[in-house]
């Protein structure tokens, strides 16, 4: 079946006529699935400097563009309920990293060091790629959704500056509506977008309650590094972003 021929409403109608409950089937499919992925915030870096911030819902068999949702004005606002420092060392052409870690603790059966602090590859400018992985809630098209945003190495300094400002203000990260915007950067032959963080007010009680539920619900997801965490431009190469 061609992707362009798949229309969800027509499928639902056909299943209903045949006596199937589409919602029940989707619920069972979700419950039995493995490797669940939260939608991701991604950046399309452009040579003309007109970079694009969008939500990636993952691949599907639909051709209606629903797998990618543009962030209006390239500014995303949401509550960050989880922050992790992740890293990975890649060998050229490899599909999985040779070594990876979450919050300084190597994963897998054969790590290159007992911890990232003592690893020669983890120094600034080393071959191990660091990222900051954020778990957040944001309102997309009128609906509050969980999102993952893996900040690139060049954007980490902006995130650290944001955290320091919050600390001086005696505010935890989850207590505020954090904004993410793109800043155009050009050095030599490279041009890319860095992510800057700011504050747009204090989080509401309702959003704080949802954030607490989300942190508990997605605890399992935070224990693993997905290949999607390092699927952005420059993650497995020497490009600056």
Would you give per-residue pLDDT tens digits along the chain (241 residues)?
A: 344 445 667 777 888 888 888 777 766 664 433 445 799 999 999 999 999 999 998 877 665 556 889 999 999 999 999 999 999 998 877 888 889 999 999 987 788 888 888 888 887 777 888 999 999 999 988 899 999 999 999 999 999 999 999 999 999 999 999 999 999 999 999 999 999 999 999 999 999 999 999 999 988 889 888 888 988 887 877 677 7
Q: Are residues 22 and 140 in the same domain?
A: no
Q: Is residue 169 part of a domain?
A: yes
Q: Are residues 193 and 159 in the same domain?
A: yes
CB under 8 Å to 240, separation ≥6 — which residues? Answer: 153, 154, 187, 190, 192, 234
Domain that holds residue 6: 1-30
Q: Are residues 73 and 1 in the same domain?
A: no
Q: Where are the alpha helices (DSSP H) in the chain?
A: 8-17, 22-32, 156-168, 205-217
On whether the pTM is more than 0.75, the answer is yes
How many angstroms separate the CA atoms of 114 and 73, rounded? 43
**7: Cα within 13 Å, side-chain hemisphere:** 5
Q: Are residues 48 and 21 in the same domain?
A: no
Per the rule left: phi > 0, alpha: psi between -120 and 50, beta: everything else, 144 is: beta
Q: Look at the chain and report how many structural domains it folds into.
A: 2
Q: Is residue 90 part of a domain?
A: no
Structure tokens given for 212: 């607490």
CA end-to-end span of the chain, whole Å?
A: 39
Q: Are residues 17 and 48 in the same domain?
A: no
How many angstroms separate the CA atoms of 86 and 230, rounded? 10
Q: Are residues 150 and 198 in the same domain?
A: yes
Q: Is residue 88 part of a domain?
A: no
Q: How many residues in the chain?
A: 241
Q: Is residue 200 part of a domain?
A: yes
Closest CA to 235 of 197, 180, 198, 192: 192
Q: Is residue 104 part of a domain?
A: no
CB 38 within 8 A of CB 136: no
How many angstroms separate the CA atoms of 240 and 45, rounded? 12
Q: Is residue 240 part of a domain?
A: no
Q: Are residues 54 and 165 in the same domain?
A: yes
């Amino acid at each position: 079946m061609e992707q362009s021929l798949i229309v969800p409403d027509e499928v639902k109608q056909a299943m209903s006529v045949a006596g199937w409950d589409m919602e029940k089937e989707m619920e069972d499919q979700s419950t039995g699935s493995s490797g669940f992925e939260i939608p991701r915030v991604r950046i399309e870096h452009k040579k003309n400097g007109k970079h694009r911030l969008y939500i990636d819902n993952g691949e599907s068999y639909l051709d209606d563009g629903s797998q990618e949702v543009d962030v209006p004005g390239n500014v995303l606002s949401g509550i960050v309920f989880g922050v992790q420092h992740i890293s990975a060392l890649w060998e050229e052409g490899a599909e999985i990293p040779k070594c990876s870690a979450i919050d300084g603790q190597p994963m897998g059966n054969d790590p290159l060091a007992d911890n990232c602090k003592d690893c020669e590859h983890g120094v600034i400018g080393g071959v191990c790629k660091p990222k900051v992985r954020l778990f957040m809630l944001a309102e997309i098209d009128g609906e509050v959704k969980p999102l993952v945003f893996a900040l690139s190495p060049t954007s980490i300094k902006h995130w650290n500056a944001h955290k320091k400002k919050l600390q001086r203000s005696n505010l935890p990260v989850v207590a505020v509506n954090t904004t993410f915007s793109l800043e155009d950067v050009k050095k030599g032959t490279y041009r890319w977008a860095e992510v800057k963080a700011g504050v747009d007010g204090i989080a509401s009680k309702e959003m704080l309650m949802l954030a607490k539920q989300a942190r508990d619900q997605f605890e399992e997801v935070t224990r693993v590094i997905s290949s999607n965490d390092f699927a952005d431009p420059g993650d497995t190469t020497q490009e600056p972003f």
